[in-house]
Amino acid sequence: EDKVVQSPLSLVVHEGDTVTLNCSYEVTNFRSLLWYKQEKKAPTFLFMLTSSGIEKKSGRLSSILDKKELFSILNITATQTGDSAIYLCALRAGSYQLTFGKGTKLSVIP
Amino acid sequence: DAEITQSPRHKITETGRQVTLACHQTWNHNNMFWYRQDLGHGLRLIHYSYGVQDTNKGEVSDGYSVSRSNTEDLPLTLESAASSQTSVYFCASSAATSTGELFFGEGSRLTVL
């Protein structure tokens, strides 16, 4: 059974801090790993990772995948209050549906 | 612009009643999914469909059914609502040629009293 474990489950930081969110997984047929951001409503797509060691970057957010050690990290530098959200890690294995972790709730305080 | 819409956005019902949540997408995606989101559990897959007349059970399918009569719609039916089905329900879709990205609806919050 495919499994996704995110840590920490919640995190409180001050504006300007750098945070690292973790996602480890177990899978029998890896296709891709995705990160989503969820504020009050629908999750919105951030990154999709398929290859080890290749960093994906968008502004202050970046992510990387390690297929040997079976984990991914999402980094956010110079955090802002607008980064407060639940960050979801999801695994695609073999078919089209995604298996999600429980999410990391990030709170950024001024 | 293409989109995915859910209705109703909020619903309160009583135990034992039948409830249908609608999902309509204009992306022309073959793949459609229903997830529920609960505190402490994250997003869990209920049912999914890879095309017209195709439906499949997900991780938490008991008490739910879906039907796919066209590409655009995947309604989710709770045959006899239970309090354990109080949750936020998300519909999502993806293209058959995609590498995994799902596009989500805004969610439907269901309360079963």
Residues B94-109: pLDDT tens digits?
987 766 789 999 999 9
pLDDT of res. A29: 87
Whether B88 and chain A come into contact, CB under 8 Å, resolves to no
Residue B41 pLDDT > 90, yes or no? no
What's the order of all strands across the beta sheet hosting A19-26? A3-7, A19-26, A71-76, A61-66, A56-58
pLDDT of res. B74: 98
Q: Do A98 and B100 touch (CB under 8 A)?
A: yes
pLDDT of res. B39: 87
Residues A39-69: pLDDT tens digits?
988 999 999 999 888 899 999 999 999 999 9
Residues above pLDDT 90, as percent of chain A: 83
Q: Do B100 and A48 touch (CB under 8 A)?
A: yes
Mean pLDDT computed over B28-39: 94
Whether B22 and chain A come into contact, CB under 8 Å, resolves to no
Task: Round to whole Å and give the CA distance between B36 and B24.
Answer: 17
User: Comparing C-alpha atoms, which of B2, B15, B35, B6 is closest to residue B79?
Assistant: B15
User: Comparing C-alpha atoms, which of A85, A87, A62 is closest to residue A4?
Assistant: A87
Q: Are strands B10-13 and B108-112 parallel, antiparallel or unpaired?
A: parallel
pLDDT of res. B98: 64
Task: Round to whole Å and give the CA distance between A65 and A31.
Answer: 12
Q: How confident is the model at residue A73 (pLDDT cuts 50, 70, 90)?
A: very high
Query: Contact at 8 Å (CB) between B33 and A97?
Result: yes
Residues B50-91: pLDDT tens digits?
999 999 999 999 999 999 999 999 999 999 999 999 999 999
Task: Round to whole Å and give the CA distance between B3 and B14.
Answer: 31
- Chain B residues with CB under 8 Å of A97 CB are 33, 45, 48, 58
Query: Contact at 8 Å (CB) between B5 and B103?
Result: no
Mean pLDDT computed over A73-78: 98
- Chain B residues with CB under 8 Å of A65 CB are none
CA distances from A45 to A13, B12, B112 (A): 23, 30, 30
Q: Do A97 and B48 touch (CB under 8 A)?
A: yes
Q: Which of B6-15, B36-45, B100-109 has the highest mean pLDDT?
A: B6-15
Beta partners for residue B90, in sequence order: B35
Query: Contact at 8 Å (CB) between A21 and A104?
Result: yes
Q: How many CB pairs under 8 A join A and B?
A: 56
Task: Identify whether B75 is preceded by a cis peptide bond (ω within 30 of 0).
Answer: no
Whether A79 and chain B come into contact, CB under 8 Å, resolves to no
- Chain B residues with CB under 8 Å of A50 CB are 99
